[in-house]
Amino acid sequence: MLCPLCNQILIAITVHTEQHGSFKVDHCGRCGGNWFDKYEINRLAYQEVIRLGSITNSFNNEEIYPKEEFLCPIDHLPLIKFTGSSVPYNITIRRCLKCAGVFVSQKDLLKFKDQQRQKINLLKHLNLPFPTVAAVFIPIFFAGVLLFSTFLTVSKVKESQDNQAKAREMITSVQTVPVNSQTTGIIFITSDPVTASITYWSNPLNKKTIIVSETPKTVHSAILKNLGEETDYKYQITLGLTNNSQTTSSEYSFKTQ
């Protein structure tokens, strides 16, 4: 078979998958182009892209001019540039409409596999199932993942807002009482007897939580000690409800003396 870009004879090279399997890819030692049969590009391990690049000769850096028409090395039909959400705009992959094989340059292959690896890492992070290798290029499924993760985020925001609204209905007469430069008291009343805790912080990365009422009460008080002097603090009140659920208030704030 001849390279669609420079007509050099393609060399069959054994490469490996992430699962330690293997298959052959047709590589051009002159321009670095690679021909993959149907679905093979998805199976190629990322590290194998580097190895393919290392064996490219490129004929002493001879300049290779791109063709106006790329032909499939199997069917000799024009290769069509693949477009869609699965292939970023800055990556060119050409595909044969008959055999579904694809031709890609060494540079674009590296970018494509790097982005594909990022998609797979996201799937792992979200604990979502992987698409099959038959899903060429991990296509619109990934857009679905993004939509799903966005939906989860929006749902969590709405749930948080609902919780805060419920807490506002139950909590009244919130007061902060400075005791000294490192100690502040907090007093509040709830419409029903509930348990309560307070989470407070001057730095969101260093939040602390204390129990205010271990048993259900309507009048609650807490003392925050060992605070920084002349420091801005924020806090939230969490109420334990009778149905074993919780509701958390919006943020309150105070500044020490």
Say if residues 253 and 234 touch (Cβ distance below 8 Å). yes
Domains of the chain with bracketed CATH? 11-125 (no CATH), 164-255 (2.60.40.10)
Print pLDDT tens along the chain (257 aa): 999 998 899 999 999 988 888 999 999 988 889 999 988 998 898 889 988 888 776 555 556 666 678 999 999 999 998 876 567 677 899 999 999 899 999 999 998 888 777 766 665 665 655 555 544 454 434 444 455 555 555 555 555 566 677 777 888 888 888 888 899 999 998 888 899 999 999 998 889 999 999 999 888 999 999 999 999 999 999 999 877 788 889 899 999 98
Which pTM was predicted?
Answer: 0.50
